[in-house]
Amino acid sequence: MKKNRSDVAFADAEEQASSDRHQSRIPSGQGVRSIEKMDDLEPAERDAIREELCEHASDFPEEHIFKNTPALVAGSQASEAIDDATPQYEETEAGIFLIKQTSSGPERKQLTNFIPHISTEIVLDNGIEKQRQYEITVTLRGKTYQFVLSVEQFSAMNWPAKHLGVQAVVYAGAGTRDHARAAIQTLSHDVKRHTVYTYTGWREIDGRRVFLHGGGAIGRDGPVEGVEVDLPDELAAYVLPVVQDHDALIRSVLASLEIRKVAPEQITMPLLAAVHRSVLDHPCDASVFLVGPTGVGKSELAALANQHFGPGLDRVNLPANWSSTANALEAIPLAAKNVMLTIDDFAPSGSSGHVSELHQKADRVLRAQGNGAGRQRMGSDLKLKPTMSPGGVILATGEVLLRCESLRARMLVVTISPGDVDHKKLTQCQEDGREGAYATAMAGFAQYLAGDGQQAMATLDKRLATYREKAGSAHAHARTASIVANLYVGWELFTEFAQSIGAITEDERRDLLDSGWSAITRCAEKQSAFQQTQEPAHQFIRLIKNAITSGRLTWRAWPKECRPKRTPGAGGRHPRECVR
């Protein structure tokens, strides 16, 4: 049988040890001739032989094993040093390579046939959590590609085929993908870093309070440079224009006030108040539900309100619809902070299961808004993640009201009937909305709140408490009073802004405040009456009345033999009649 190199070396060393044990005289160096020759072996083979010899070290004289094997020991130490050294990488026109130092010199192993770099590190900030993405720039066969990957996608190294096609190769081999990932990070120099905000609303940046929207940010002096906002596709139209001049701002504010005339103020005032309440930097648990039969103009009115946050938010481009999934409807309000979010067309139909599902969906979304808290979430590490809560005002439209009584108490119901909308006035206002008048007014209002309006914002809690107490005396349900107070505060601050820029006079503002309070409270009173009629006791009495009126229920004298006996001391009235 053919012996390998380690067997030969071990046999030679064992022979010399046996000679020593028999006190044979061996010339110096002759007994370790084979061991000395191992310096010519490959590092891996030499290390294997060394381990084998050390395993049988007790069989050999110390001087024969170690005294004359400096190359073996030194080679082993050098091999360990090479293994522990930090890998080195280089890039060429052919791709990226791993440079591995060996005892015989550097060895090159190709990792990819393309040249990738991380050009930008992006921090996505949703107001609660931060996630990172990498913008990758790749050169492959003379062509340049650019795309964005999440950290998880980048680390997995499965992206070359998806983004570059079949020509992109990550070569085979144990650890090649890990080395490719490390090489890209190591060879990426001068990586740019910036933050992208993925929600609307207020944020403090560099010590300044700014309002985020799809086009950037607005501060006390107008647009803020260097702030990047990337909203979900559903909110991409939430873009506020730049206020060109003071006169244009005044015209825009007056155009917004004209919406009051499209329908009775009991309908339009709550909508306008909700628009301006939504932008305030203070939690709001109010929602508005615009209900009425099909064709009365619900979606058109909702669009006029939503166009205060972007000209593109017209009737056919409203941000959300009740036909969307529950998860989607729950996620969108989390990014739509300090804005109005319209969810259009609540019209249950079809099977009872579908109707029930739609009601459950609405309950989940509007209850989260009414409670001011989102659902708690748990991460893959079984730890609770930060809770994300809705931060704006939801405007829902529908043909029927929600079933749950407690949920109806968490919103202001605005009823619209056929003939309420002035279609000629509606057409004029729709034109103003498309031209950006309402969005310009909102941009000016946000700028005001970021500057001079901060003093008014400091008194917001006190104002809410005052109006809540004032409204509470007229409404039985505490939540109704809170909704009235919240909406009125939004209207009050907007009229304060309008007067400050000279769009309205003090007397005109006083009239607007009076009419606003009257319209909102009348709407709330109507809702309170409706809530009372929905209570079980009232429903029972109403059913009895309807049955009597229709003749399906009659009253007859109680037969003498059927009358119950009186119980001494019992309260109540002895029945004289019975129902049949």
- Enter the DSSP assignment of 30: G
Which tokens in the block code for residue 27? 């010339």
Rounded CA-CA distance 88/82 in Å is 11
The whole-number pLDDT of residue 315 equals 93
Q: At 66, list the tokens.
A: 């170690």
Task: Specify the DSSP class assigned to residue 32.
Answer: G
* Phi, psi of 470, rounded to the nearest 5 degrees: -65, -40
Cβ contacts of residue 267 below 8 Å, gap of 6+?
290, 301, 414, 415, 416, 420, 523
Phi, then psi, of 194 in degrees rounded to 5: -150, 165
- What residues does each domain of the chain span? 5-81, 88-196, 248-374+386-533
Q: Give the three-class secondary structure for 332.
A: helix
Which amino acid belongs to residue 432?
Answer: D
Query: Hey, is 241 helix, strand or coil?
Result: coil
**For residue 81, what pLDDT is reported?**
46
Q: What angle do CA 306, 229, 214 make, to 5 degrees?
A: 25
Given this model, what pLDDT does residue 46 score? 61
Question: Where does 248-374+386-533 sit in CATH, by number?
Answer: 3.40.50
Contact 487, 286 (CB under 8 A): yes
SS (H, E, C) 386-434: CCCCCCCEEEEEECCCCCCHHHHCCEEEEECCCCCCCHHHHHHHHHHHH
Q: Which three-class secondary structure state does DSSP give residue 101?
A: strand
Three-state DSSP class for 335? helix
Note the pTM of the prediction, 2 decimals.
Answer: 0.75
Note the pLDDT of residue 321: 94
> What does 165-185 look like in DSSP terms, one character per residue?
-TT--B--STTHHHHHHHHHH
Q: Token pair of 400, please?
A: 């029927």
Cα–Cα dist 437/192, whole Å: 38
CA 75 remoteness from chain centre: 57
pLDDT tens-place values along the chain, 580 residues long? 444 444 444 444 444 444 444 443 334 444 344 444 555 556 666 666 666 655 555 554 444 444 444 444 444 444 444 444 578 999 999 999 999 888 888 889 999 999 999 999 999 999 988 999 999 999 999 999 999 999 999 999 999 999 999 999 999 998 999 999 999 999 999 999 999 999 999 999 999 999 999 999 999 999 999 999 999 999 999 999 999 899 999 999 999 999 999 999 999 999 999 999 999 999 888 899 999 999 999 999 999 999 999 999 999 999 999 999 888 888 899 899 999 999 999 999 888 888 888 988 888 888 888 776 666 666 666 677 666 677 889 999 999 888 766 677 778 999 999 999 999 999 999 999 999 999 999 999 999 999 999 998 999 999 999 999 998 766 556 788 899 999 999 999 999 999 999 999 999 999 999 999 999 999 888 876 665 555 566 567 767 777 777 777 776 665 666 655 555 554 444 444 444 4
Q: Residue with structure tokens 């005052």?
A: 466
Strand, helix or coil for residue 251: helix
Instruction: Please tell me the distance from the alpha carbon of residue 366 to that of residue 201, in angstroms, as a whole number.
Output: 20
**What amino acid is encoded at 86 in this protein?**
T
**In a 3-state reduction of DSSP, which class is residue 28?**
coil
Residue type, 121: E
Beta carbons of 199 and 212 less than 8 angstroms apart? yes
Closest by Cα among 417, 433, 476 to 290:
417
Report the DSSP pairing between strands 208-213 and 216-219. antiparallel
Residue of 467, 33, 15, 442 lying closest to 249 (CA atoms): 442
Task: Quote the CA–CA distance of 95 and 113 in Å, as a whole number.
Answer: 4
**Nearest of 238, 546, 540 to residue 392 by alpha carbon:** 238
| pLDDT value for 66 | 42
8 Å CB contact between 497 and 246: no
SS3 150: strand
How is residue 65 annotated by DSSP?
I
Residue in the structure block whose two tokens are 């009425």:
292
Distance in angstroms (rounded) separating the CA atoms of residues 438 and 260? 13
DSSP letter for each residue of 449-516: HHTTTHHHHHTHHHHHHHHHHHHHTT-SSHHHHHHHHHHHHHHHHHHHHHHHTTSS-HHHHHHHHHHH
